[in-house]
Structure 1
Amino acid sequence: MKVIAVRGKALDFSESPTRGDDSYEESPVQEAVKVTGAAVFDDDERLMPLISGYLSQELQNAQISQQTAITYGRNLGYTCEYLMNRREFRDCERDSAFLEVRAHAIEEYFAHLREVEELSKKTVRNRDSSLMAFFNDSLCQGVDDLPAPRTAPNPYTGGYLSPRPNKNLVVACSLNDLRELILATQSERERCLLQFMFDAGIRRSELPRVTLKAIDDAMCFQDVLFISPGVSEPVSADYCPLYIDGSKGPADSFKPRQTLVSRATLLRIKKYHASPLYKMHKRQFSGAENTPAFLNAEGGEYTPRSISKLVERTSRRALNRLKIDRMISPHKLRHGNAYALLRTPDIGNDHLDRLVTVQKTLGHSKLSTSEIYTQIPYDLYQKLVRPGAETKTKAGEMAELSQQTRLTIRAGDMK
């Protein structure tokens, strides 16, 4: 099975043989066109028309992202493969089994995934979501004056057909885990990157879009002085708002938001930016708004994949040294940021204030999404804190971490 999805991809027909064919004079082929759509092929490289048409329509109407189209295509393709191996669908052409399948067959498919393929309930529910969207939005839904492709009853009129997945506790990167990750690399630029990912709570896909200008603009917030009640001397804030071109916007668009980054983390990054190493590599970019805040060992831009490789590499080193007890993924750094915000005493007046801050800084559309971090009740958490002990602030923890782990970038350093 093969799934292809593109959005606005340019196709060059300048060398196409049809451009020199006289039979195409009435509708000549343009030299370049932009294509948006998706195609799913079976193992015999035959197009699956129902699935491909649905995904292409959703992409063109900006209802789903390119990655979602690929995920849906795979999920629907796997389901089709299973159905074609059932006796009642062996005479069906390509993906036409979807026009006849009933709810009991889909439920048996989900049971097969759980019991034979031993997939988790969460993975099965993801397959179920793809199928429900396919039936509700395409197979059982007419378009304009055209009737729905499927005449049989919609198996999803009652909602999901798979069991509800269990809620798992969120496994986060602790402050100690972060410190050991940082100590597992001898590169200050990588240490800056790891601390920033934790402190800003960003996704791996968002970090390559953080620019030098965004860091500079955040640092300008330090010029603002604040006067607290009962205090005569103005002070600078311990946190600075940082603009993020967030991921998970509709149809591959960005979802802008502001996150809070500790002043200590930004100062550490600015020292990295002042190094000869960073100054040498940033010359290839036209301006601060186009210059990445973090550059790799070759002076190029990070990608989501290379960020995962970095975290995996440092995790394995720390694990081999028995400094951590499990591998850490980039998203666990984001989880760690959420818990750091919930326990810091200097943001918000109460737990609900801090939970709303988590929602806004992480870019969650709903507060209920942020509530996954509250599976341990806050009053129980308070009892776990030693009476009389002062809880450290997130800003203070980042300042301490910077002081303990910062390396000097020398003029001759090339990485």
Structure 2
Amino acid sequence: MKVLAVRAKELDLNESPIREERDFDVAQLDGVKKLTGVAVFDDEERLLPLASGYLSHGLQNSLMSYESSLTYAKNIGYFHEYLASRREFAGCDRDSAFLDLRTHALEEYFSHLREEAGLSKKTIRNRDSSFMAFFNKYLCRGVDDTPAPRSAANPYSGGLLSPRPTKNLVQACTLLDLKELVLSTKSERERCLLQFIYDTGVRRSELPRVTLAAIDEALDFNNTLFISRGVSEAINSDYCPLFICGSKGSADQIKPRTTLVSRATLLRVKKYHSSPLYKMYRRQFGKADETPAFLNAEGTPYTPNAVTKLLTRVSRRAVSDMRLAKKISPHKLRHGNAYALLRSPDMGVDHLDRLVAVQKTLGHSKLTTSEIYTQIPYDLYQKFLRPGTEIKTKAGEMEELVKQTRLRIDLGDTK
């Protein structure tokens, strides 16, 4: 199986060999065209038209994100490989087996994944969801006023076919884990970045979109004046609102939100921005709202994969030095932010207030998504903490972390 997906990719058709065909309209191949679509190929490198048509329509019409189109393509491709190995579908042309299969074929596939391939219920449910969308939105309905490709009954008329996966407890990065992680790198830039991810709860895909201007605007919040009946004074809060160009929007659209970040963390970022190294690298960018807040050792913006590699490298070192028991992923830092909010006494008068704060700062559309952090009740979670730490605020914890771990960036530093 092979998957190719492109979005708005420029394709120069002037040199296309098809232009030499006598019966072809050459005007259709003039100039540079932008191509968006998904192509799924089988083991013999033949195009699977049903799968490719469904995914291309979804990507072209912003019905699914680029990442989702890749996930769906792989899931459908794996299922096609399984069907091709079954005797009753041996004579089917390309992916036409999707037009004739019955519910039992899907159920036997899920049983195969569970018992022979050893996949988790969560992974199986992910594939099941991909197939349901394929059948409900394309095979059994059709698109653009065209008849549905499949005339047989819809196997998903009653909903998902796989067992509901059990929810696992959230594995979060604790404050102590964060400190040991930060101390496992000698780079202040990386230490600053790790604390920022934890304190803001940003996803790894959102970090590259955090700009220098966003940091400056967040710090300017403390200069805002509160005016009431002749009283005019600065806010001077321990937290600042930081604008995030969020991910998880519909079909790759930006989902903006505001998160609360400790002023101590922002001041640490600003000291990094005032270093000779950052000043040298930021010259290549334009205005502050076009300049990334964090640049790597080569002076280029971080990518989501680079964030993961950074966490993997630093975590591996921390585990090797026996600072950590296991590696920390970017999402565990995000989970750590949620629990930091839940235990911070200045985030609300009760647990529900804090849970709403988690929903808003992490960008969850529904409060039920944030409730995964209630699997460990708040009052029980407090008992896990060391004596004397229960009353510390998130802002106070971040200020203490800065004092314990900040490094100076000198003129001759290259990282």
TM-score (norm 1): 0.95
CA RMSD of aligned residues (A): 2.1
- Deviations 1:134-188, CA, capped at 9 Å, x for gaps: 0100111133543211111111111111010011000001111110110000000
Q: How does 1:68-87 map to 2 (within 5 A)?
A: 68-87=68-87
How big is the shift at 1:105?
1.1
Q: Which residue of 1 aligns with 2:180?
A: 180
Deviates most, 142-151 or 23-32: 23-32
- Within 5 Å, which residues of 2 pair with 1:19-168? 19=19, 24=24, 27-168=27-168
- More displaced, 363-372 or 345-354? 345-354
Cα displacement (A) at 1:80:
0.7
Q: Which amino acid aligns with 1:4?
A: L
Aligned to 1:204: 204
Cα–Cα, structure 1 residues 383 and 332, in superposed 2: closer, same or farther, change >3 Å?
closer
Distance 2:346 2:201 in 1: 18
Q: How far apart, CA to CA, are the structure 2 residues paired with 1:363 and 1:6? A: 28
Comparing 297-306 with 44-53, which one deviates more in the overlay?
297-306
**AA in 1 matched with 2:47:** L
Q: 1:297 and 2:297 equivalent? A: yes
What are the equivalent positions in structure 2 for 1:273-352 lying under 5 Å apart?
273-352=273-352
* Alignment deviations for residues 290-342 of structure 1 (CA, whole Å, 9 cap, x no partner): 11101111111111111111111110111011111111101100000001001
Deviation at 1:7, TM superposition (A): 1.8
Conserved in 2, the CA contact under 8 Å of 1:247 and 1:253?
yes
Please give the per-residue CA displacement for 1:350-398, whole angstroms capped at 9, x wherever unaligned.
2111111111111111111110001122343456668987520000000
C-alpha contact 1:19 1:28 (8 A) present in aligned 2 = no
Q: Any idea what the Cα deviations from partners look like across 1:91-142, whole Å, max 9, x if unmatched?
A: 1111111111111110110011011010000000000000000010011113
Which letter does structure 2 place at the counterpart of 1:318? A
Pairing 1:376-391 to 2, within 5 Å after superposition? 376-381=376-381, 390-391=390-391
Whole-Å separation in 2 of the counterparts to 1:254 and 1:362? 14
Amino acid of the residue matched to residue 102 of structure 1?
R
Aligned-partner Cα distance in 2 for 1:112–1:17? 45
Taking a change above 3 Å as real, the CA distance of residues 16 and 117 of structure 1, as seen in their structure-2 partners, is same
User: Which deviates further from its counterpart, 307-316 or 17-26?
Assistant: 17-26
Residues 226 and 237 in structure 1, CA contact (< 8 A), matched pair in contact too: no
- Structure 2 residue identity aligned to 1:402: V
Cross-structure match for 1:4: 4
SS in 2 for 1:237: coil
Q: Is structure 2 residue 218 aligned with structure 1 residue 222?
A: no
- The letter for the 2-side match of 1:114 is R
Partner secondary structure for residue 27 of structure 1: helix
Separation in structure 2 between the aligned mates of residue 232 and residue 223 of structure 1, nearest angstrom: 11
Judged with a 3 Å threshold, the aligned counterparts in structure 2 of structure 1 residues 132 and 19 are, in CA distance, closer, same or farther, namely same
SS in 2 for 1:160: coil
TM-fit CA distance, 1:349: 2.0
* Kept after mapping to 1: 8 A contact 2:319/2:327: yes
What are structure 2's unaligned runs of at least 5 residues? none
- Mapping of residues 372-411 of structure 1, within 5 Å: 372-381=372-381, 390-411=390-411
Aligned-partner Cα distance in 2 for 1:346–1:12: 58
Distance 1:130 1:365, change over 3 A: same
Question: Given the superposition, is the C-alpha separation of residues 234 and 322 from structure 1 closer, same or farther in structure 2, using an over 3 Å criterion?
Answer: same
The corresponding residue for 1:246 is 246
Moved over 2 A (4+): 14-28, 142-147, 224-228, 231-235, 377-390
8 Å CA contact retained: 1:348, 1:354: yes
Q: CA 1:105/1:234 → structure 2, altered by over 3 Å: closer, same or farther? A: same
Give the letter for the 2:7 counterpart.
R
143 and 28 in structure 1: CA distance in 2 versus 1, 3 angstrom threshold: closer
Task: Please say which of residues 81-90 and 262-271 is displaced more in the overlay.
Answer: 81-90
Identity in percent: 68
Question: Aligned partners of 1:190, 1:378: CA distance in 2, in Å?
Answer: 31
Greater CA drift, 247-256 or 365-374:
247-256
